Structure 1
């Protein structure tokens, strides 16, 4: 996924100047590069529109400065502790790279069909996102589907059990836990007992009639 935005360079740094930039409708930011980092500002409205979609960490940001465009990714975002809106952004350049690491979120599919959840279990999510290594020229996924429709109580899904798009792989070489079904839930004995009680109640109602 790619998002384009225009930026302005800035020479003045510091808390006081950052406040002026925010009051003017922009967000102070920096682009980290091998040779020289660039201090910039980006339009608040445009960036927040993309940010609140929830996929900014899995998006290539095409930043245009004075007519020159470069590809970048978001490395870190500082948020206002009260409003939770971005107040500063750290970008990292993708120029000259063949592969980049992005953070894609997991989508858990089939929760309504999971035997473990139907029995009263709870879906424990160990990792909501994962770092993916992606060729920069490939279509970069913003999310990864994880099927939980067959999970029973105590079942787990590890990273090596999840299918990824072609040429995409997890950045971590070690497998990691994605989710599990926890909780005692209802046992088969409980279900049988409940069924028996319902049958008995039906029989009593029939006798009373």
Structure 2
């Protein structure tokens, strides 16, 4: 992923909860830019611009920031959102350089047919929908594709089965997806027998 997307921003001097609330009322989001070998830089980002950007680009897209001293490239390190409205509340940015590896989470994208186990009535359980990777910024994938078509009931898909050129920072045996066996419905005869069992037990107790 080599393209960059511009994100308007400006330095901010006021910090703290009251300053953050004031920024949000003005339609701006408190942000902090880390990395670059210097101290963290407090910024203000237009909320509408960030929301629109995330609608059309993956969360790990490379951003171009216009700041005093020139343009700087960054990626979203962390994004805090409101638990109910999902509106962004704060964003942490990490400055990147072409020759310096970064560590970020990348989403997993399921491709291909439904797993065999699902086609036979099983349930796909998503244990993890993203993994942490380390690579150069230009090598950072938008997502890692996962083909689960051959996954059957009772089986799991692990980190060791991922096909990606970047380093995944998790043990190979880490489970990402698994297929839960389908629930077996009782036949009418079995259901009737199960219902009759308590009555038979009660009658036997009464005869003793």
TM normalised by structure 2 equals 0.78
Q: Which runs of 5+ in 2 are unaligned?
A: 188-208
Q: Where do 1:62-81 residues align within 5 Å?
A: 62-66=64-68, 68-81=70-83
* Correspondent of 1:183 among 181, 184, 189: 181
1:174 to partner: Cα distance: 4.6
* Correspondent of 2:32 among 24, 30, 51: 30
Question: Which stretch of the first structure deviates more once superposed, 58-67 or 86-95?
Answer: 58-67
1:147 to partner: Cα distance: 0.8
Q: Which runs of 5+ in 1 are unaligned?
A: 191-209
Q: Distance in 2 between matches of 1:105 and 1:157?
A: 15
1:48 to partner: Cα distance: 0.8
* Correspondent of 1:104 among 103, 106, 110: 106
Q: Give 2:13's aligned residue.
A: 11
Q: Give 2:160's aligned residue.
A: 160
1:111 to partner: Cα distance: 4.2
Q: Give 2:191's aligned residue.
A: none
Describe the superposition over 1:95-150 as per-residue Cα deviations: whole angstroms up to 9, x where unpaired: 475211221111122343x3211211011111100111121233x21111111111
Distance of aligned partners of 1:67 and 1:5 in 2 relative to their CA distance in 1, 3 Å threshold = farther
CA root-mean-square deviation: 2.3
Q: Give 1:147's aligned residue.
A: 147
Structure 2 contact 133–168 (Cα < 8 Å) conserved: yes
Divergent runs of 4+, >4 A: none
1:22 to partner: Cα distance: 1.6
Aligned length: 183
Q: Give 1:40's aligned residue.
A: 43
Q: Give 1:124's aligned residue.
A: 125
Q: Distance in 2 between matches of 1:31 and 1:84?
A: 22
